[in-house]
Amino acid sequence: SCSRRIDHSLMRVLITGATGFLGRALVRAFLADGAERIVLYSRSESRQAEVAAELGDHPALRFFLGDVRDRERLVQAMWHCDAVAHCAALKRVDSVAYNPDEVRKTNVLGSANVSSAAVEAGVAKVLMISSDKSCLAQNAYGVSKAQMEHEAIAYTRISYPRGTKIACTRYGNVLGSTGSVVSLWRAAVAAGLPIPITDPDMTRFWFTVGQAVDVVREALARMEGGELFVPVLSAMRLGDLAEAVAPGWPVRVIGLRPGGEKRHELLLNDDEATRTVAVTESLYVVKPALPTWRADDPWDGEPFPAGAVYRSDLVPRLSVEEMRAMLKEM
């Protein structure tokens, strides 16, 4: 684990997409860290009501209805915040394939609004949540996240002199997240149906929501502006995952989904690897390809192996038993 308590400069935090799976987990984590104020920024009135009912009348919580497409509303919500965790996104690969312009409006333009609003509001740190699908992207979702990364890191040249540091982090698949295969497969089992699998030999990076929260904590604590944080993760075949979820249950191979689905995911390509160092046993940092406003290099660590890539079929595999233990943590 790379867990780290947020420091006193990060006691007032805004979370976009705060009523989503990761957003809710971050709210609980920052409450446990003793945050002075947590602004939950999201579009869904009903989901905000659900979170309010779950967490009770906590004095640190502030509920703001709003869309990341609305820059003015973002500025209002960010006043007197120290940090922003930007989780809001359209992310379902199949629906995104049919609605690429809507994805651009939220994932690209909305993320740009988050950056510029943070500068105007005087926020110290902004962390953009990206995805392994952004690395050598092959679908509309991955392309939108790749564009978000490039714009956020480039924007640091403007934001850093104004006192706002912006960085990104890439994630793999979070077990139990909304719409995840684990949830879908469990529903199929409950209905007595075969588990639908795109390809049993397909591999994916996996980690728990607790690990995901730890990465956000660590990145917010360590970020200097312009970097990309990448967690050290293990991977697993989908066929093995199905065996961990429902031992001996029949499966049905359905093939790759339309819209550009990869058989194996990348967290780092070979070009990025030349700029990558390991800062802890569980976290890499990718230095920006182009200079940011800073003239110095704030990062030191063990370089990523020359010529290597960080791909889900080339990293240590989780065993069925290890995955079952992770599933119990959900």
Coil, strand or helix at 310: strand
Can you tell me the distance from the alpha carbon of 264 to that of 36, in angstroms, rounded to the nearest whole number? Answer: 41
Options 91, 105, 125, 133, the catalytic residue: 133
On the 0-12 / 13-18 / 19+ scale of CB atoms within 10 A, 75 is middle
DSSP β-bridge partners for residue 201:
none
Coil, strand or helix at 27: helix
133 catalytic per annotation: yes
- Cβ proximity of 40 and 61 under 8 Å: yes
Question: For 157, phi and psi rounded to 5 degrees?
Answer: -60, -30
Tokens 């943070």 locate to 118
Give the β-pairing of 195-197 and 203-207: unpaired
Coil, strand or helix at 19: coil
- Cβ proximity of 197 and 182 under 8 Å: no
**CA nearest to 37, candidates 75, 71, 5, 83:** 83
- Cβ proximity of 168 and 229 under 8 Å: yes
Can you tell me the distance from the alpha carbon of 91 to that of 177, in angstroms, rounded to the nearest whole number? Answer: 12
**CA nearest to 207, candidates 14, 41, 21, 32:** 21
Can you tell me the distance from the alpha carbon of 196 to that of 87, in angstroms, rounded to the nearest whole number? Answer: 28
- Cβ proximity of 198 and 256 under 8 Å: yes
Catalytic positions, please? 133
